[in-house]
């Protein structure tokens, strides 16, 4: 290994390349989706090391803005099967491998 600095530089470039939100599935109306994605990005950037606080922030803001009974899961490497209200689901990735699932069920 002649130059280990180059490998670290390439890895850092790769990580910064995937910091945009990637929506995997949603059935939300356009306006709600845009607000939810912005809220998720803000919370994940604010609480980079504490997913529980980020999820709590997202849930509280969604409850205030769109009515109660919102649920949020944030993490890496999890699976899920949920029942949700129609037009109230968002599943996205942020920062590469951090998954965010937001849904409403009452």
Count of domains observed in the chain = 1
Q: What pLDDT sits at residue 16?
A: 47
d(CA 5, CA 32): 44
d(CA 9, CA 2): 14
CATH code, domain carrying 101: 3.30.740.10
Q: Provide the residue range defining the domain that includes 84.
A: 22-105
- Secondary structure class of 70 (helix, strand, coil): strand
Q: What pLDDT sits at residue 55?
A: 97
pLDDT digits (tens, 9 = 90+) for 31-84: 999 999 999 999 999 999 999 999 999 999 999 999 999 999 999 988 889 999
Q: What is the pTM of this model?
A: 0.80
Is residue 75 domain-resident? yes
Is residue 86 domain-resident? yes
Is residue 1 domain-resident? no
pLDDT digits (tens, 9 = 90+) for 79-105: 889 999 999 999 999 988 899 999 999
Is residue 72 domain-resident? yes
């Amino acid at each position: 290994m002649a130059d280990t600095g180059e490998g670290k530089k390439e890895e850092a470039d790769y990580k910064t390349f995937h910091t945009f939100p990637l929506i995997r599935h949603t059935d939300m109306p356009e306006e709600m989706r845009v607000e939810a994605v912005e809220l998720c990005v803000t919370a994940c950037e604010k609480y980079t090391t504490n997913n529980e606080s980020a999820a709590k922030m997202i849930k509280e803001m969604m409850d205030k803005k769109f009515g109660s009974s919102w649920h949020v899961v944030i993490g890496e490497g999890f699976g899920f099967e949920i029942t949700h209200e129609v037009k109230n689901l968002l599943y996205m990735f942020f920062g590469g491998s951090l998954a965010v699932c937001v849904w409403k069920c009452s």
